């Protein structure tokens, strides 16, 4: 026997919590695989009323396992698998000696939990399906050392043995899913907001106009009654140190300030009118409005996904 480089295909199938406590049932958890600097986590899954949670998430990795000639066996190479509750509490853990799977074969393991949280039975276990192959022979058989597919059709990631790349790919995959969920949620929120406004008898253009007026009024620190002219000549004359030239200059500054403010208001009113016209156009063409909203959302989502996939390609090329 000699040292061997082993390629692992691990499927984290499920978690079974025997005599599951009530406060754990119907809550979410996930599995965490820790080996050296590697720290990989599955997606969260619901624990049912019987204490069962299914994951069916796969990873692929390669590692070097040494042969101990004096002991007549492979040297231990330890990893740890943890069951983690939704709040971060570790429900239990189990040690996984990768050397036990150095011989290329298929293995189905029920790994009992130890170091369990209060109330969690030590009869609980994690089910893993492990397939191992001789990495050198596999590369020779295929004639290439290409990486496995990075994302399958369900969006699940296969990780290589690089700790940093694995974590980044896991994060990027989660971001794709989050963007998709956020896009759906925003569309639902927009529809609900419009419905609420209609129920209150408020049109969208009125809402936009009022919002713009309120924001402008707050920003400028004045009321919306901008046409009221003020003459502060007498007020300035009452200042003890003010000369006639000073009073004239202050009044002139007042007029210039009012002129600039009116210009700003006219500009804002013009923008308001443009907004109202655009909203009216969209309201008169609901099919077009929905199409444009969806098109913008889809384009942004596609752009984000393309960037993430480019990043994944870059990581695997390292």
d(C-alpha 42, C-alpha 158), whole Å:
11
Q: How far is CA 102 from CA 57, 77, 154, 161, 201, in A?
A: 21, 10, 30, 16, 71
Alpha helices in 156-285 (DSSP H): 163-199, 204-220, 233-237, 244-284
pLDDT at residue 304 in the model: 77
Burial of residue 17, with CB atoms counted within 10 A of its CB: 0-12 exposed, 13-18 middle, 19 or more buried: buried
Instruction: Tell me the per-residue pLDDT of 36-66, one tens digit each, with 9 for 90 and over.
Output: 888 899 999 999 999 999 999 999 988 999 9
Q: Which residue has the higher pLDDT, 50 or 284?
A: 50
Name the pTM for this structure: 0.46
Strand (E) or helix (H) holding 304: helix 286-317
In this prediction, residue 126 has a pLDDT band, given cuts at 50, 70 and 90, of very high
Please name each of the domains of the chain with its CATH number.
Answer: 4-146 (2.60.40.150), 183-306 (no CATH)
What is the C-alpha end-to-end distance of the chain, expressed in Å? 32
What is the dihedral sign for C-alpha 267, 273, 274, 279?
positive
The least confident of 62-71, 88-97, 136-145 is 136-145
Position of tokens 């596609």?
A: 302
pLDDT surpasses 50 at 295: yes
**pLDDT tens readout for residues 91-125:** 999 999 999 999 999 999 999 999 999 999 999 99
Residue 215 pLDDT more than 70? no
Of 107, 109, 100, 128, give the one whose Cα is nearest residue 31.
Answer: 128
The CA distance from 91 to 216, in Å, is 54
SS3 86: coil
Q: Look at residue 289 in the predicted model and tell me its pLDDT.
A: 60
Q: Residue 145's pLDDT is what? A: 47
CA distance 274 to 279: 9
Task: Compute the distance between CA of residue 133 and CA of residue 114 in angstroms, rounded to an integer.
Answer: 29
Residue 148 and residue 131: Cα distance in Å, rounded?
Answer: 15
Mean of the per-residue pLDDT values of the chain: 77
pLDDT at 274: 73
**From 123-137, 179-193, 211-225, 284-298, the region with the lowest mean pLDDT:** 211-225
The answer to whether 47 and 16 are in contact (CB under 8 A) is no
- Do the beta carbons of residue 42 and residue 57 sit within 8 Å? yes
Report the pLDDT value the prediction gives residue 241, as an integer from 0 to 100.
73
The percentage of the chain sitting over the pLDDT mark of 90, rounded to a whole number, equals 36
d(CA 58, CA 133): 16
Considering only residues 188 and 102, tell me which one the structure prediction assigns the higher pLDDT.
102
Smallest CA-to-CA distance from 112 within 15, 24, 35, 36 is with 15
């Amino acid at each position: 026997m000699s040292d061997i480089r082993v390629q692992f295909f691990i499927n984290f199938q499920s978690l079974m919590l025997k005599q599951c406590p009530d406060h754990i049932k119907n809550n979410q958890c996930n599995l965490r695989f820790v080996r050296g600097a590697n720290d990989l986590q599955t997606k969260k899954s619901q624990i049912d009323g019987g204490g069962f949670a299914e994951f069916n998430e796969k990873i692929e990795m390669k590692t070097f396992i040494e042969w101990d000639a004096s002991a007549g066996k492979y040297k231990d190479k330890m990893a740890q698998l943890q069951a983690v509750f939704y709040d971060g509490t570790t429900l239990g853990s189990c040690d996984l000696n990768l050397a036990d799977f150095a011989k290329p074969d298929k293995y189905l393991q029920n790994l009992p939990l130890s170091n369990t949280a209060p109330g969690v039975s030590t009869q609980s276990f994690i089910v893993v399906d492990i397939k191992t192959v001789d990495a050198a022979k596999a590369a020779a058989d295929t004639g290439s050392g290409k990486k496995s597919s990075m994302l399958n059709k369900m969006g699940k990631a296969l990780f290589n043995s690089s700790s940093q790349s694995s974590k980044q790919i896991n994060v990027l995959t989660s971001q794709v899913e989050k963007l998709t969920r956020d896009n759906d949620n925003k569309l639902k929120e927009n529809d609900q907001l419009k419905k609420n406004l209609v129920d209150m008898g408020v049109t969208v253009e009125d809402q936009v106009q009022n919002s713009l007026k309120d924001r402008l009024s707050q920003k400028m620190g004045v009321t919306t009654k901008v046409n009221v002219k003020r003459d502060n000549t007498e007020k300035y004359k009452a200042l003890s140190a003010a000369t006639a030239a000073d009073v004239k200059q202050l009044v002139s500054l007042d007029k210039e300030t009012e002129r600039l403010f009116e210009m700003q208001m006219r500009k804002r009113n013009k923008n308001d009118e443009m907004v109202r016209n655009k909203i009216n156009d969209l309201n008169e063409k609901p099919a077009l409005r929905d199409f444009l909203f969806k098109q913008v959302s889809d384009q942004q989502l596609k752009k984000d996904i393309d960037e993430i996939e480019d990043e994944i390609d870059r990581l695997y090329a390292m």
